[in-house]
Amino acid sequence: MNGLKKFFVLRNLTVSTILYSLLFLWFIVSIFPFFWAFMTSIKHPVDAFSMPPVWLFEPTLNAYKALWIDGEFMHYFNNTMFISIGSVIIALIIGCPAGYALARYTNASSFYLLLAALVFRALPRTLFILPFYFIAQVTGLFDTRILLMLIMVSINQPFTIWMLRSFFMNIPKSIEEAAMIDGCTRFQAFRYVIVPIMGPGVITAGIFTFILAYSEYFIPVVLTATRAATMPVAIAQFGVDNVKEWAISAAGAVSIALPVIIIVIIAQKYIVEGLTAGAVKE
Amino acid sequence: MEMKRKEFIAFTAPSMLIMAALMIAPLILTFYLSFMNFTYGSNPQYIGLKNYIDILTNVRFWNATAFTLLITAVTTFAKIAIGFGIALLLYNITKFRGIFIAGSLLPFIVPPVVGTLIFGWLFRQHWGYVSYLLNQIGIDISWYADPWAARWLIMMHVIWQGTSFVFLVLYAGLQAMSKESLEAAVVDGATYFQQVVYVIIPYLKPLFLFVTMIMVMDAYRLFDNIAVMTKGGPGLATETLMYYNYQIAFGRLSLGAGSAISVLTMIGIFILMAPFLYWTYKEQTEK
């Protein structure tokens, strides 16, 4: 990297300043809405609505109290967590063997399966959900968390498997082959040799599967009413033009975003790895 | 020791079964329903291609298609241009990289519904901060009431949300790039601009293809931000195909017609994706 730096001649301080400024600009653009929502959530409504904006004000946690303690947000939070964590567990249990198999099986059908995975990812969700709308009503599974969880697992499987496959491709075949030469079945080799070392890849795939399930709006909004509704559904009801309860919906937005922000800060490495894995290593 | 077919089937079976039951089966059912007249509460009746004809002759469908294509083209291009620019910028920077990446990841990773809300609030007429700033310099735009302003609002949000994915992938590609070709270009006297155009862009071509494909796929299926920010409005100005589908299928409960729209949307996506898949295939076989 040092050798290359010579070629991008940055001795010119003006150029350097411009570069940093542009990046800083984008950084601000990216996080300003979050900052603003947070400010709104801790302002008294009279401060929140005043333009020009009030920067010095008396903060309040009224909105959060109304949301979490007086309101039903806890219920939606529980639903979201139950569905998301459940999805991840199931998705990984069935996805890891599948991803591993796709990484090792070099026959052409492996390629076609991957192609199918990409195609499924591209399809509009309505294609899958529409029948569920009335199937769920008829079978009494409408507005249940289990149904949501299973559908999320299924719909995100192509992506999960794709990501896991690219991580398994980085584990040399020799590792499990050594075990199999010693007499293990493939499954034993997988269970006792591969599983212990696939940690980082699984964590990354798990994070993404979690975020996908956590953020899902279309599927819950169609398939739930009140019992199994998730946080995205709950907060979308406030809408962008809700004036009366702006502070509360801002508090909701912050509450929903917070776990994800924490994940980004703690697991940034994994997220970046996951986003670029499919692309760069192809 | 190659994996045997039996082993492959055993390892992939649970996953394939769940996908078959909860994804492929509904898909087939939707196809089937698209040829039916089916409202929830009554029995489906076979009506052949009537749903398709009704939709394809409906202006509302074509409006939604046109807007969806517009968003796809504009936002994908913008995301790639800006994302590439950011990747190049970051490549030349040594400090604050981690913080920058973390911050610019937020719009992409946070639930789209949340991103839509916090972005949309800034553009509200009377209490949105961006509206206020624009007013200060004499610009007064009714982002939610003016059809074209609303369309640009949606597009701006999509760009805000998705650019960081493009930037990250291209940046990772840049870091994997070998320095020799760049060094050779500099030795030959290339300017920075020439380095970018003749060395970096060709090297990153597969990645450009990849992100373009992903961004096209995602833009075509936009739903969350429309549903939360404009609800297709004002009027039908910002209705995308997915939202139109949602309105017909679950608003009007015309599940047969809704299924037909889904199938048509799918055909649209295949048409859009075909060139990308072809290019990717060519790239792979050229290696």
Residues B191, B193: Cα–Cα separation, whole Å: 5
CA distance A26 to chain B (A): 7
Name beta bridge partners: B37: B45
For position A188, what pLDDT does the model report?
82
Segment B165-206, tens digit of pLDDT:
999 999 988 888 877 877 887 777 777 777 777 788 888 888
Residue B18 lies in a domain: no
pLDDT at A8 over 70: no
Residue B10 lies in a domain: no
> Residue B153's domain is classified under what CATH number?
1.10.3720.10
Instruction: List strand residue ranges (DSSP E) for chain B, in order.
Output: 36-37, 45-46
The lowest-confidence range among A9-23, A88-102, B224-238 is: A9-23
Pick from B176, B195, B175: which is nearest to B185 by CA? B195
User: Is B241's CB within 8 Å of A260's CB?
Assistant: no
CA distance A108 to chain B (A): 12
Residues A117, A121: Cα–Cα separation, whole Å: 6
DSSP A49-65: T-SSPPSS-----HHHI
Segment A132-191, tens digit of pLDDT:
888 888 888 888 889 999 999 998 888 888 888 888 888 888 888 888 888 788 888 888
Cα→Cα distances A15→A175, B93, B98, B219, Å: 50, 11, 21, 35
Residues B251, A130: Cα–Cα separation, whole Å: 12
Query: What are the residues whose beta carbons fall under 8 Å from the beta carbon of A32, sequence distance 6 or more?
Result: B122
Residue B2 lies in a domain: no
Contact B173, B204 (CB under 8 A): yes
Mean pLDDT, chain A, as a whole number? 84
Residues A97, B12: Cα–Cα separation, whole Å: 6
User: Is B169's CB within 8 Å of A124's CB?
Assistant: no
Name beta bridge partners: A63: none
Model confidence band, residue A110 (pLDDT cutoffs 50, 70, 90): low
Residues A118, A162: Cα–Cα separation, whole Å: 9
Number of domains in chain B: 1
Residue B15 lies in a domain: no
ipTM of the complex: 0.88
Q: CA of A135: which chain B residue's CA is closest?
A: B26
For position B46, what pLDDT does the model report?
84
Residues B257, A115: Cα–Cα separation, whole Å: 29
Residues B136, A52: Cα–Cα separation, whole Å: 10
* CATH homologous superfamily for the domain A72-237: MetI-like (1.10.3720.10)
The contacts found for B11-17 with CB under 8 angstroms, 24 or more apart, are B11/A97, B11/A98, B11/A100, B11/A101, B11/A186, B11/A187, B11/A190, B12/A97, B12/A98, B12/A101, B12/A102, B12/A113, B14/A93, B14/A94, B14/A97, B14/A98, B15/A94, B15/A95, B15/A97, B15/A98, B15/A157, B15/A161, B16/A98
A231 chain-B contacts, CB cut-off 8 A: 111
Domain boundaries of chain A, sorted by first residue:
2-62, 72-237
Residue B91 lies in a domain: yes
pTM of the predicted model, to two decimals? Answer: 0.88
Average pLDDT rounded to a whole number, residues B239-259: 89
User: Is B263's CB within 8 Å of A127's CB?
Assistant: yes
Residue B106 lies in a domain: yes
The two tokens of residue A33 are 């809405």
Residues B190, B209: Cα–Cα separation, whole Å: 26
Q: In three state form, how does the secondary structure of B173-230 look? A: HHHHCCHHHHHHHHHCCCCHHHHHHHHHHHHCHHHHHHHHHHHHHHHHCCCHHHHHHH
Three-class SS state of A209: helix
Interface test with A, best of B23, B135, B191, B273 (most A CBs within 10 A): B23
Segment B55-92, tens digit of pLDDT:
999 999 999 999 999 999 999 999 999 999 999 888 88
A276 chain-B contacts, CB cut-off 8 A: 168-169, 172-173
User: Is A155's CB within 8 Å of B33's CB?
Assistant: no
Pick from A248, A250, A268, A281: which is nearest to A65 by CA? A248
CA distance B57 to chain A (A): 21
pLDDT at A67 over 90: no
Of the partner residues B92, B227, B259, the one whose CB lies closest to the CB of residue A8: B92
Segment A26-52, tens digit of pLDDT:
999 999 999 999 998 998 888 888 878
Segment B270-283, tens digit of pLDDT:
998 888 888 877 76
Average pLDDT rounded to a whole number, residues B237-257: 89
- Structural domain of residue B89, as residue ranges? 36-286
User: Is B18's CB within 8 Å of A94's CB?
Assistant: yes
Residue B214 lies in a domain: yes
The two tokens of residue A232 are 């995205």
Residue B1 lies in a domain: no
Of the partner residues A126, A151, A231, the one whose CB lies closest to the CB of residue B249: A126
CA distance A59 to chain B (A): 18
Segment B120-175, tens digit of pLDDT:
999 988 888 898 888 889 888 889 889 999 999 999 999 999 999 999 999 988 88
Contact A280, B173 (CB under 8 A): yes
